[in-house]
Amino acid sequence: MLRLVGVGNRWRGDDGAGLAVAALLAERAPAGVDVVAHEREPLELIERFDGAAAVWLVDAVHSGAPPGTLHRFDASEHALPAELFSISTHRLGLADALELARALGRLPPSVIVHGIEGARFGAGEELSPAVAEATRELAAALAAEVATC
């Protein structure tokens, strides 16, 4: 099974970018691709990995790059740069959850992480225009990528 997981918090501005991508993909995901919006603790992602041969994760990042910049990481064999995924409102972030899954032997064989550079993360804010555009761009690219698997 192939699984795409959008991670985030829809009530904190650009932190909802991963959820927006999941919503866009849910409408056009190819058969055999499970699309999930994940707003809970990142550690609970480990359960979402069960039974998946490949997982794509989408989350907001903060590196200082221009808002809407897309980042791509292959986390199958190497740790994510934790400093990019430090905007989590949870105790442990996405990078921590992936490393715990790796240590427990529960990381799927293929894990690709897409980060969308955010600009604003305040409570009650909407996606910034650049991030909203990036979610549409990434959703289209991911639909094509998962269709080839």
pLDDT in tens, 97-145: 999 999 999 999 999 999 999 999 888 889 999 999 999 999 999 999 8
| CA–CA gap between residue 34 and residue 37 (Å, rounded) | 10
- Of the candidates 76, 74, 1, the residue with the CA atom closest to the CA atom of residue 34: 1
Q: Is the pLDDT of residue 60 over 70?
A: yes
Please give the structure tokens belonging to residue 143: 């639909």
Q: Are 3 and 52 in contact (CB under 8 A)?
A: yes
70-74 vs 110-117, strand pairing mode: antiparallel
Beta strands 110-117 and 33-38 are unpaired
> Which range of residues forms the domain containing residue 11?
2-147
CATH number of the domain residue 86 falls in:
3.40.50.1450
Q: Is the pLDDT of residue 88 over 60?
A: no
Find the mean pLDDT for residues 50-72.
94
Question: Which pTM does this prediction carry?
Answer: 0.91
Number of domains in the chain: 1
Is 77 a residue whose pLDDT tops 90?
Answer: no
